[in-house]
Structure 1
Amino acid sequence: MAAAAALSSGRGAAGVKGPFFIFTLLCLVCFVSSLMKQDQLEKLKEGIQKAQQKLDKLKATRASSSELMSKSMSIIDPLAAHMKEASSGFPPIEEFMDSLKDFMAKTKAYADAENEEADAEIEKTEQELEKMRKFVLLIEDFQAEL
């Protein structure tokens, strides 16, 4: 018993207490750090999922606007022909229908250009989301190894 008391109060125990304290502290810091990273990983996953939902909504909106423009263009030609027949001899209606056709053609060209830009943005966003998903999987695999 005297040997144990001498050891605990002597130099032998002091040499062990310092590294043990540092080791314990390091273990606690690593444990807390891994929990924080797990929380951040969950937030990243949620962000990816929200971005995917917004992208899906954007795709649906883009598709519906394209359909609407196509339907409008298909209606204009028969409408113009019918209006010209119904108002034969009344030049302002014919001029109006011609200007309406020109307006719709310009609008369709503008919408097509906007859709091309939207398609490029959608493609870029899809690629970035895929990179982020791969990054999350890599982090999960790394954490599983630890």
Structure 2
Amino acid sequence: AQKALFDMAKLLEAYGLAVIDDNQVRIGEWSLGFCKSGLPSTNQISMVSGEGAGIVNTDDGPWPLLLLLAFKRQLPPLCSLTVASPEGIEVSDQLKLEKDVLRLLGSDLERVRPIAEALDLMPAKIDLNQSSPDSQNYYF
């Protein structure tokens, strides 16, 4: 699980959004890390039990949410991660359905799209204006 998280975080790090250090990922003031023994504190996952809990505050922005959703997709089948809204409703990794959550985090779908695409949370957007056929075709 730790490798999966850090692999996702490396993509955010390439965009200048995350820093990876000392068994944790930091995005602004928000962080998620792993503890080697004892009970995990907020935003930590126990390397022994695999359990943990955390919070993404509205002022943390959308990037921690995207990291968690991408991390969730990479987990093995018997592992689970639940991301929920303040109302306790599970947040899906289908970002088109989560416009309210993105708005709550001060963002929208178009702003997060490049990062969501890099994390494989969304398919790449096809820009039909960029295609200039050299020959006649039957596309509309």
TM tier, shorter chain? under 0.3
Greater share of residues in strand: 2
Larger radius of gyration: 1
Bigger relative contact order, structure 1 or 2, given CA contacts below 8 A and separation 6+?
1
Greater share of residues in helix: 1
Q: What TM-score, normalized to structure 2?
A: 0.23
